[in-house]
């Protein structure tokens, strides 16, 4: 079922980001190398008392750990140990243009990261949008690691075939990918574009700090080329079916989400009958940022009851 990763992965190209503690972007940053890929994560530890549990957070497309800042802080204050990861090539993780960026490949990397860096824990895992598909794959591939899983405005899948995706022949040439990537970086990724996308996803106007937080990692060297190369190296490493989910699950959606409306995933939720759906009034596609209090009120009772 599983295929071995092939090829030699490039080293991280972010000149402002190295594995030395003094150069990490946040006070609670860490870096782990998995399958030759450097993964940036942040750890909110519980000090002075045993943790109530461990929570693993996965962001959506073009985002980073900052999507979870408010939720991670709230969970930590409640007594939970929290780990949030940057899904490569986003945030401050590796920008290699040769890595497999499929959902199941990301799930396997995060499983290895957990086993190597945070062993001996049972996890509450949550994923937003694209990250929701990753944690869905994780829950199907490694259910023994998890107590429960939460899908937030998630890009859930019905089935995943373990086969490569087709790719535009032009993108097979690295020179073409480089040129297109640089054009995209200069002309497409900018403050106004990010502000517009966030306003659409939030359902409200973002602050300057929010725009900057999303924009800076997207401007990192190699970011655009890594995205363009993803289609060429994208292949699932496992055949998965949503109906195979065996652990407790919660789906949280904003009722005003026009990016991934909950109705667009109703047929998948029906295949997972043990999954509870909660809609947040007035929230858009990123409810944990725009409605953090409502989000926590919906989520905390669920994870508190998840036990072996």
Domain span at residue 100? 21-163+238-305
Domains contained in the chain, number: 1
* Within a domain: 123: yes
The strand pair at 249-254 and 146-152 is best described as: parallel
- For 147: left if phi > 0, alpha if psi spans -120 to 50, otherwise beta; the answer is alpha
Q: Are 64 and 217 in contact (CB under 8 A)?
A: yes
* Within a domain: 215: no
* Within a domain: 11: no
The pTM of this model reads 0.87
Residue listed under structure tokens 């899904």 = 87
* Within a domain: 194: no
What tens-digit pLDDT sequence spans the chain (308 residues)? 333 332 222 222 333 333 333 478 999 999 999 999 999 999 999 999 999 999 999 999 989 999 999 999 999 999 999 999 999 999 999 999 889 999 999 999 999 999 999 999 999 999 999 999 999 999 999 999 999 999 999 999 999 986 555 544 443 444 444 444 444 444 467 888 899 889 999 999 999 999 999 999 988 888 877 877 777 778 899 999 999 999 999 999 999 999 999 999 999 999 998 899 999 999 999 999 999 999 999 999 999 999 87
CATH of the domain at 132: 3.40.50.1820
Q: What is the pLDDT of residues 233-243, one digit of tens each?
A: 788 999 999 99
Selection from 144, 125, 146, 123 nearest residue 53 by Cα: 123
* Within a domain: 198: no
**CA count, 13 A, side-chain hemisphere, 53:** 21
* Within a domain: 230: no
Q: Are 152 and 252 in contact (CB under 8 A)?
A: yes
243, two tokens: 């109906």
- How many residues make up the chain in this entry? 308
Over the Cα atoms of the chain, what is R_g?
18
Q: What is the pLDDT of residues 54-73, one digit of tens each?
A: 999 999 998 999 999 999 99
* Within a domain: 13: no
* Within a domain: 34: yes
């Amino acid at each position: 079922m599983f295929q071995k990763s092939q090829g030699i992965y490039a080293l991280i190209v972010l000149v402002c980001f190295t594995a030395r503690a003094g150069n990490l972007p946040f006070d609670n940053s860490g870096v782990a190398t998995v399958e030759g890929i450097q993964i940036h994560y942040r750890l909110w530890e519980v000090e002075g008392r045993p943790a109530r549990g461990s929570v693993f957070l996965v962001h959506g497309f073009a985002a980073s750990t900052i999507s979870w800042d408010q939720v991670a802080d709230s969970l930590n204050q409640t007594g939970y140990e929290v780990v949030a990861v940057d899904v490569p090539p986003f945030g401050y993780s590796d920008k290699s243009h040769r890595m497999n960026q499929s959902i199941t490949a990301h799930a396997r990397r995060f499983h290895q990261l957990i086993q190597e860096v945070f062993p001996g824990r049972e996890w509450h895992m949550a994923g937003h949008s694209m990250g929701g598909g990753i944690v869905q794959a994780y829950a199907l591939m490694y259910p023994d690691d998890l107590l429960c899983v939460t899908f937030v405005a998630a890009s859930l899948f019905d089935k995943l075939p373990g086969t490569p995706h087709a790719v535009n022949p032009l993108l097979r040439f690295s020179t073409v990918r480089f040129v297109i990537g640089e054009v995209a970086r200069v002309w497409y990724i900018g403050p106004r574009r990010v502000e517009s996308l966030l306003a659409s996803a939030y359902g409200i106007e973002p602050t300057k700090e929010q725009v900057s937080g999303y924009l800076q990692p997207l401007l990192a060297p190699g970011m655009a080329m890594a995205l363009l190369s993803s289609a060429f190296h994208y292949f699932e490493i496992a055949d998965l079916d949503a109906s195979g989910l065996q652990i407790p699950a919660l789906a949280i959606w904003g009722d005003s989400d026009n990016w991934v409306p909950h109705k667009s995933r109703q047929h998948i939720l029906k295949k997972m009958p043990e999954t509870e759906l909660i809609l947040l009034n007035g929230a858009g596609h990123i409810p944990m940022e725009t409605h953090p209090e409502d989000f926590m009120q919906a989520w905390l009772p669920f994870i508190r009851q998840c036990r072996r």
